[in-house]
Structure 1
Amino acid sequence: MAGSVHSDAYRSFLKALVALRNKRGMSQAELAEKLRKPPSFVGKYELGERRLDVIELLVILRELDADFGPFWAKAEITLPDRI
């Protein structure tokens, strides 16, 4: 189902977000601390157990020193025809 938390597009998005965190050399716990959230917050969205909203994504990208445009361009996400 295209709108599912576990759609191919969403899994690709999460993979790109995890790769960015790893590229920055940051652990889940370190990112959670920067976000002032418990480590489970990062773990749950990275595993797809929790869906991110756009504001959360932008704050996460800010803490990873990344801008949305370049992140999205490199993420190689194929969007579904329908949602």
Structure 2
Amino acid sequence: MKKTIYSDEYAAFREMLRTTRERLGLSQEELGEKLGKHQPFIARIEAGQRRLDVVEFIHLMRAMGVSPIEFLKKFEKTVSKE
């Protein structure tokens, strides 16, 4: 089994993170500032070069003003269609 960071599901997860950020009108730099991180931190996550742990995911969602639970429900529906 290949590492999940290279899976189609994780690619869909990263894409959903990026499109959510963009839909909210946030740049990578702005989101990074909200988290106390630099822009490359967000870029590496979105590019799949850095994996998010659960706590980081929750902080990321809160910084965007998005419910982590609602995001995951939407993600689960997306990947269950594939």
Shorter chain as denominator, the TM-score bin is: 0.7 to 0.9
Unaligned runs of 5+ in 2: none
Deviation at 1:73, TM superposition (A): 1.8
- Higher relative CO (Cα under 8 Å, sequence separation at least 6) belongs to 1
Q: Distance in 2 between matches of 1:44 and 1:23?
A: 19
Unaligned runs of 5+ in 1: 79-83
Counterpart in 1 of 2:35?
35
Deviations 1:40-63 (A, max 9, x none): 000000000000100000000000
1:50 is paired with a residue of what secondary structure?
coil
CA RMSD of aligned residues (A): 1.2
Deviation at 1:2, TM superposition (A): 4.5
Counterpart in 1 of 2:72?
72
Percentage identity across aligned positions?
Answer: 36
Deviations 1:12-46 (A, max 9, x none): 11011111101110000000011110110000000
Q: Distance in 2 between matches of 1:15 and 1:27?
A: 15
Q: Distance in 1 between matches of 2:52 and 2:16?
A: 14
TM-score, length-normalised on structure 1?
0.86
Deviation at 1:3, TM superposition (A): 2.8
2:4 is paired with a residue of what secondary structure?
coil
Mapping of 1:2-81 within 5 angstroms?
2-75=2-75, 76-78=78-80
- Structure 1 runs (4+) deviating above 4 angstroms are none
